[in-house]
Every structure is written in structure tokens, then in C-alpha cells.
Amino acid sequence: MTILEKIIAQKEKEVAILLNQTFDQVSSPRQVTPLSESLLTSDRLGVIAEIKRSSPSKGDISLAVDPVARAKQYETNGASAISVLTDKTFFNGSMGDLQAVSNAVDLPVLCKDFIIHPVQIDQAKAAGATIVLLIVAALSEEQLNELFNYAKKQNLEVLCEVHNAKEMEVANNLKPNLIGINNRNLKTFEVDLHTTEQLAKLAYPGSILVSESGMKTNVDAQVAATAGARAILVGETLMRSEDLAATLQSLRVSIPKESLNNAR
Ligand SMILES: O=C(O)c1ccccc1NCC(=O)[C@H](O)[C@H](O)COP(=O)(O)O
């Protein structure tokens, strides 16, 4: 079994429990400028800054982090959005982290989880998420369509994540506002920043690209921006940074002029 298969098996158990719960029907998400809007109006690479306590590939990163304090630091230092890993079993996160962060910042908040059922979208929205992640590799095309349409109906933004050309083709059918190109292979953990360069040119032209995982330096950020990304999603590097202001500043590189003129 790959790690992704293990995670999905665990999510199926969690969904069975969630289906016995009710979540407050929030009529609309928290009022924030949508991520897609703020990225398109910026001439700098956006950073979706992640709260990541631990991970299957790296083990413990920052178990004792105060997610609220960290999210506020991200906001003060120019992050475009906050990503909160909410999975407990594999990442030591929680919906409580997401709720606390959403209450504390005025930025869009991404529920970074492995969503396989609409009830998880209800739960994420009730906890204050304004963006949900849909991972193409974790879903059938039918599930993906259903979840994408459900999230849009809830007025949530969707970050549609791909890792190869076949997944990009599936994502493109949705004409999503936001496509995340994950540089990490979720089956092997291998990280290759060339993934963004290779896949960016295959993306639906109207989509805004986010390069995810493995971003460490200003040079990595520049490669992503040159490939056409308007944002990067960064976990470990920010969680381990001892000078967040400097790290975030260095990752927020200028977007090349030719990309600024494109839809994305
Ligand atoms: O990070 C992992 O080990 C991992 C393993 C299996 C599935 C997902 C995983 N990570 C989720 C993410 O996508 C990352 O947290 C995110 O892109 C940030 O990555 P990084 O900047 O490399 O911490």
C-alpha cells in the first residue's frame, strides 16, 4: 500500500464518523479577499504559508507550534494565505488548528486535507476555511467533479492538485481557478521542482498556478515564478525558519513581466 492509499483508507473511516455529526450551516465563508483575486493583482509571487507539525516524509517538524501565533506571523510578513494541515493521524494537525487560525487572521485559509466526501467540505467550511484542496490522485473523476461542484456551491475556492500530465488533463476539464502542481510524489515522497516546469505549460490557460512542496530558497521560488506559478505553497521551510520575515521576503520574488500579462 502506498502512503496515499493508507491515508485514503483512514479518511474513509473518518468520513463514516463525520456522517453522524452535523456541522453549523455557515451561509457564506469568512469575508476575505479571495486568494485567486489577490494573486492576480500582485506582481510578486504569493506564498501560501503552511502550519505543518509533522509529515509522513519528514517525521516531526514542529509538534509544539502555536498555530495562531505562527499564522499571525505569516500574515504580518506578507503571506497571501494560510494552509492548515488538519489531518491528525499522519500530520498531527486538527480541525481545531484550522478553526483557531481562521478566527485569528484576515487571510484566506486553506483546509489542507485529503477530501473524499462532501461532509469534509462542510466540516472545513464550518471551521472557517475559505479554500479546500482536492487532490486528483486521491479521487475518481466522478468524485472530483462532485466535490469540485459541491465546494463551488458553498462559495469556497478550490485548489485542484496534480502531479503528472494525466492528472493535469483531468483537472483542466474543470477549468479551475487554482491549480496546484505538487512537486512531491505522494506515493514515493520524491520531490522534484522540475515537475512545476514540466506541467505548467500543460495547464488550462485561465488557471492560476501554485507550485507546492520542496520550496527552500529564493532560487526555487524564482524557478517556480519563471515556469508560470503565481504562488508557492510552503510548509517545512517556514516551520523551521528562525527568521520568518527574511525567509518570506526572500520567497516573494517578482513575477516575470511576460507572466503578469497572461491570464495567470
Ligand atoms: O509532506 C509529506 O510528507 C506528505 C506526504 C504524503 C502526502 C502529502 C504530504 N504533504 C502535504 C503537502 O502537500 C505539503 O505539506 C505541502 O505541499 C508543503 O510541502 P513542504 O513545503 O515541502 O513542506
Domains observed in the chain: 3-18+34-261 (3.20.20.70)
26 alpha carbon – ligand 1 mean position (Å): 29
The string of DSSP letters for 70-130 reads: HHHHHHHTT-SEEEEE--STTT---HHHHHHHHHH-SS-EEEES---SHHHHHHHHHTT-S
- Pairing verdict, β 59-60 and 54-55: antiparallel
Q: Is 247 helix (H, G, I), strand (E, B) or coil?
A: helix
pLDDT at residue 48, rounded to an integer:
98
Q: What residue type is 222 in one-letter code?
A: Q
Residue type for position 127: A
User: How high is the pLDDT of residue 261?
Assistant: 65
And the C-alpha cell for 12? 474513509
Closest to 208 measured CA to CA, from 37, 78, 32? 37
Task: Tell me what pLDDT residue 259 has.
Answer: 80
Closest by CA to 239, choosing from 83, 86, 44, is 83
Q: Give the ligand 1 atom nearest the CA of 50.
A: 18
User: For ligand 1, atom 6, which residue shows the shortest CA distance?
Assistant: 186
Distances (CA, A) of 82 to 33, 131, 183, 185: 13, 10, 19, 22
Taking the C-alpha atoms of residue 186 and residue 167, their distance in angstroms, rounded to an integer, is: 13
At 199-253, the pLDDT tens digits run 999 999 999 999 999 999 999 999 999 999 999 999 999 999 999 999 999 999 9
Kindly give the distance from the C-alpha atom of residue 261 to the centroid of ligand 1, in angstroms, as a whole number. 30
Q: ipTM of this model?
A: 0.98
Whole-number Å distance between alpha carbons of 152 and 157 = 7
Output the CA 86–ligand 1 centroid distance in Å. 12
Residue 187 pLDDT greater than 90, yes or no: no
Spatial CA neighbour of 195 closest among 171, 167, 175:
167
The pLDDT tens digits for 74-132 are 999 999 999 999 999 999 999 999 999 999 999 999 999 999 999 999 999 999 999 99
Residue nearest to atom 14 of ligand 1 (CA): 213
Interval between CA 174 and ligand 1 midpoint (Å): 24
Q: Examine the pLDDT at 263 and tell me if it is beyond 70.
A: no
Q: Which atom of ligand 1 is nearest to the CA of 212?
A: 17
| Minimum-distance ligand 1 atom for the alpha carbon of 214 | 22
Q: Residue 258: its pLDDT value, please?
A: 82
Q: Residue 245 has which C-alpha cell?
A: 520575515
Question: Please, what is the angle between helix 218-227 and helix 244-251, to 10°?
Answer: 30
Kindly give the distance from the C-alpha atom of residue 127 to the centroid of ligand 1, in angstroms, as a whole number. Answer: 21
Per-residue pLDDT tens over the stretch 20-64: 998 877 777 789 999 999 999 999 999 999 999 999 999 999 999
Beta-strand relationship, 178-182 and 208-212 = parallel
- In one letter, which amino acid is 118? P
**pLDDT bracket for residue 262 (50, 70, 90):** low
- Residue 226 has, within 13 A of its CA and on its CB side, a CA count of 9
Span 145-173, pLDDT tens digits: 999 999 999 999 999 999 999 999 999 99
Whole-angstrom distance, CA of residue 19 vs CA of residue 123: 10
Q: What are the two backbone dihedrals, phi and then psi, of residue 105, each rounded to the nearest 5 degrees?
A: -120, 165
